[in-house]
Amino acid sequence: MCGIFCAHNHPDVHGFKPQALQLAKAIRHRGPDWSGNVISNNTILTHERLSIVGIDSGAQPLTSEDETLILGVNGEIYNHRVIRKSFGDKYKFKTHSDCEVILYLYAEKDIEAPKFLDGMFSFVLYDSKKDRIIAARDPIGITSFYQGWNSSQPETVYFASELKCLHPICDNIISFPPGHIYDSATGKTTRYFQPSWWNASPVPEKPLDLKLIRSALEKSVRKRLMAEVPYGVLLSGGLDSSLIASIAVRETRAGSNLSGHDNSQNGMDNLVGIDDEGYLKTVSKFAKLHSFSIGLPGSPDGVAAQKVADFLGTEHHTYTFTIQEGLDALRDVIYHLETYDVTTIRASTPMYLLSRKIKAHGVKMVLSGEGSDEIFGGYLYFHAAPNKSEFHQETIRRVKNLHLADCLRANKSTSAWGLEARVPFLDKEFLEVAMAFDPEEKLIRKDRIEKWVLRAAFDTSSEPEKEPYLPKDILWRQKEQFSDGVGYGWIDALKDTAARVVSDEEFKNRGNLWAEDTPDTKEAYWYRQMFDEQFPKQCASTVMRWTPTWSEQTDPSGRAISTHVAKYEHV
């Protein structure tokens, strides 16, 4: 991931530049490889770069051939070669960056440009001829992005990848809505992403096609192997990450076979990527796929992850953390996450610790399994869905809010250490397939475990000629939320510690401190307290706290759901 900071229509942009560079520095962890900035008219655009594609020539901000368009991007455009080819010889590209195509898509399509992008992105583009800023965010909000204003300078608009760039200068900040584009020419923010599944009604009636589910996810993983740096996979041992790892192993192996030769040297080999027609291409990777997991000693996920790694033949790295190490990291985790949501903080802390370990291996990109539970109703509270219509409505709501929850966690936990997380389940083509069939098939029944559809799609037991994707007991393993799976003692310790550090009197007085979004547990109080110590009040409006639907419980842990089957001893 990279980092963007931009101020448009600033009354003294040259005088503001030193402060702008300091604000941009606050997100250098997102882009430790290079820093760049451009001033044009009354606009300054800065960029902190993490180089994944176009390493030698992709420094940003990018500019058009005539220097009139200036662009800063955080993310990856997977179909950039296809877009380049569609232009023919009309434009002269300066770099090999996947992001440069946005300049000329804007020249061709104006604010329709994001509709043609396949990837995860936030970008700011300045048109100096028109003195016009446009800004956009990917359809689901995989990349973090914020917009802000200062009431003393109402004509100036600011954009940044994280809140920490904006709160020193903005008294009004919003989380930029996913799938939208802002245009300074009109002052409007409009939704460009309009998939068939966006509205809950009518409920889809299309028949389920398991092979289509399988092929769509395989294609999604294949796209995300576009890289010029070594990459790995996050492997919790749960269904979602295990499937992503399995597909990545197959695609990588297929790419090596297609290359027709072996260029192994210094532990490196060929990696499958995507060429300008959407086919396989070779770039660099480790000779063996690396997988990574973390948990308390003996955690449920750690045991399962090792089993998957042995089955797939990955170079597996298992890390453990102590409860005290997790507690010690909490303040830093909240600083990087910029949230006080309980379930996000619980799950992000192990991910944050693991990301630091991964970066030490020289890995700069990882595949991760976020989004599957929202799409297929994998959380255990979905057992209580009263009918398929409400089940479908809840999956849509959860996908729409991913930018405030699991996408935020994956993006910021990894970006804290200059690592990029890619999420194949949130590919817009895959979403179109996975959200379009009759949700009756997704309902959890006596004869169907949660995410039955996904499990069945990759169950090859009736296809003896096909190599199994996963061991059967992993493919059909019951859901563990990440914060549970790393070891049940982690959540217990968080609750116990919060009970000690937050007195009964303080907790009783919580309504006077927070009249809105009042914490309902001591753990929530503790996190909100740490958040407020690091972020002013204008940041709180960007946070969404989550609790399950169809349930009266306040604890978001899957273990608190009555349907959870305790298959593991507590640690």
Please state the residue numbers annotated as binding site for ATP.
234, 294, 368-369
Q: Is 114 left (phi over 0), alpha (psi -120 to 50) or beta?
A: alpha
Residues with Cβ within 8 Å of 29's Cβ and at least 6 positions away in sequence, in order, are 3, 336, 415, 416, 417, 418
The number of residues in the chain equals: 571
470-507 burial by CB neighbour count: b if 16+ within 10 A, else e? bbeebbebebbbbbbbbbbbbbebbbebbeeebeeeeb
Q: Which of 2, 6, 170, 407 is catalytic?
A: 2
Indicate the annotated binding residues: 98, 234, 294, 368-369
Taking 3-state DSSP, the helix, strand and coil percentages for the chain, each rounded to the nearest 5, stand at: 40, 20, 40
Confirm if 160 and 4 have CB atoms less than 8 A apart: yes
CA distances from 492 to 322, 437, 495, 568 (A): 13, 39, 5, 15
Rounded distance between C-alpha atoms, residue 333 and residue 330, angstroms: 5
DSSP 553: -
Q: Record the tokens describing residue 321, joined without a space.
A: 């953390």
Catalytic residue flag (residue 2): yes
User: What DSSP assignment string belongs to 348-397?
Assistant: HHHHHHHHHHHHTTT--EEE--TTHHHHHT-SGGGGG--SHHHHHHHHHH
Rounded distance between C-alpha atoms, residue 555 and residue 495, angstroms: 10
Closest Cα partner for 72 from 132, 3, 166, 144? Answer: 3
CB atoms within 10 A of CB 88: 7
Which are the catalytic amino acids? 2
